[in-house]
Amino acid sequence: MNIPENLAAILTRIDAARKAATLPAPATRLVAIAKTEDEDGIREALRAGQRLFGENRVQEAQKKYPPLKNDFPDLELHLVGPLQSNKVREAAALFDVIQSLDREKLADALAAERDRSGKCPRLFVQVNTGEEPQKAGVFPRQAAALIAYAREKSLPVEGLMCIPPAEDDAAPHFALLAKLAKDNDLKNLSMGMSGDFELAVKFGATHVRVGTAIFGTRAPQADQPI
Ligand SMILES: *Cc1c(COP(=O)(O)O)cnc(C)c1O
């Protein structure tokens, strides 16, 4: 894999998709999903100018990013995987954005950590648009209530995130997420992965999360889905 070439190609495709969209999305940012990728690969992407990265596990990110953040202080790190309440302290210390807020208990823990440390990452609410029982995310009909709950606690909710069912056409899921964001006055939409980020741009994605198309095929991660 040539990481700098892949990054450049994806940025070109995002740009073309934005231009082709009937409703042009606002600026779309590329979040490079670097789960399982080692520090060297991430450094290559950083040297090529990439600054936004996503990880799905707190512990893996804790090992990789302290030296990277030290060398590239403007690196912005997003958590895109499920977060357990008992990992909130570690997550809040490391991540700039948590895209997986999906329940009141987690909002409580984030608010408590904010009150304790004065620090809170920016937040996206993850919506389980396919209502898949095994998948993280609040169901669409409960999203407004969770957003309101987090806002009552003055948590910085800035957007929505979804991972459509792998076997579905993603378009209706992206459309639903865009509608929920509009209804709830949220301006950020994190949707689209290696296989469908151009489609997501067409539906207004402000953040696309791309892993394999940048870093190549991943080895499977043990004992946790995705
Ligand atoms: C792994 C992952 C991605 C990236 O998927 P690719 O198909 O490799 O681009 C995006 N979002 C989340 C939440 C992920 O876990």
Q: What is the pLDDT of residues 37-56, one digit of tens each?
A: 999 999 999 999 999 999 99
- Nearest residue CA, atom 12 of ligand 1? 80
Residue 29 scores a pLDDT above 90: yes
pLDDT band, residue 221 (cuts 50/70/90): confident
Measured in angstroms, how far is the CA atom of residue 116 from the centroid of ligand 1?
32
Over the stretch 129-183, which tens digit does the pLDDT of each residue have? 999 999 999 999 999 999 999 999 999 999 999 999 999 999 999 999 999 999 9
What does DSSP assign to residue 97? E
Predicted pLDDT of residue 226: 45
Q: What is the CB < 6 Å shell around ligand 1?
A: 33, 35, 56, 80-81, 163, 193-194, 209-213, 226
Predicted pLDDT of residue 136: 97
pTM: 0.96
What whole-number distance in Å separates Cα of residue 157 and Cα of residue 89? 18
Share of the chain above pLDDT 90, in %: 92
pLDDT band, residue 219 (cuts 50/70/90): confident
> Residues 6 or more apart from 213 whose CB is under 8 A from it?
6, 10, 194
Predicted pLDDT of residue 26: 80
- Nearest residue CA, atom 7 of ligand 1? 194
Contact in structure between 120 and 156 (CB atoms under 8 Å)? yes
Nearest to 53 by CA among 70, 75, 38, 73: 75
